[in-house]
Amino acid sequence: MGDVERGFTENDAGLLVRHVAPDAVIVNALGAVLRGRAAVEAATRAGLSRGPLSTATAHYRLSDIALVAPDVAVAHKSAWSTVEDADRGAPPEMNAHYVFVRREGRWWILRRQNTLVADARS
C-alpha cells in the first residue's frame, strides 16, 4: 500500500500502478471500470495531472486482509487525506477492496473497487 499512497500523494502514476497486474480490473472512485494496467495508468495519469486530485494527498490504512487461497488474498483499505485525519478518528473518505494474486513469487493487484464515503465528504 505504501507505493500506492506515495504515488497518489506525489502524482506519480507509474508508482501508483507498479503493483497492478497487466490483466487487472479496477473500478475507480467515480465508478469507471478500467481493464488492464495500461488503462489504469492512463486514467491515473490523467486524474493526477489536473483538477482536485493534482494537489490532493492520501493516507491509507489496511484494516483487513485474508488469505482465501494459497495465492489469493483479499484486503480492505481505508483512506483519508492526511495522517492527522486518520489519527483523530475522522471517518475514512474512501474505502477500497482489493484482490491480490501471487504469480511467479510476486503479489499483484488483480482487482480493486474504490468507494467514496458520502458522509466524510459532506
Residue 2 and residue 16 in contact, taking contact as beta carbons nearer than 8 Å: no
The residue type of 80 is W
Average pLDDT over every residue of 50-62: 86
Cα–Cα distance, 75 to 48 (Å, whole number): 24
Residue type, 6: R
User: What is the spatial distance between Cα 88 and Cα 72, in angstroms, rounded to a whole number?
Assistant: 33
Residue 106: pLDDT above 90? yes
Residue 120 pLDDT? 52
Mean pLDDT of 85-98: 95
Strand partners, 73: 67, 100
* CA of residue 80 relative to chain centroid, distance: 12
For residues 120 and 101, is the Cβ–Cβ distance under 8 A?
no
Q: What is the pLDDT of residue 29?
A: 85
Residues 3-48 have pLDDT tens digits of: 888 888 888 888 889 999 999 999 998 899 999 999 999 998 888 8
CA atoms within 13 A on the CB side of 48: 22
Q: What is the pLDDT of residues 63-87, one digit of tens each?
A: 999 999 999 999 999 999 999 999 9
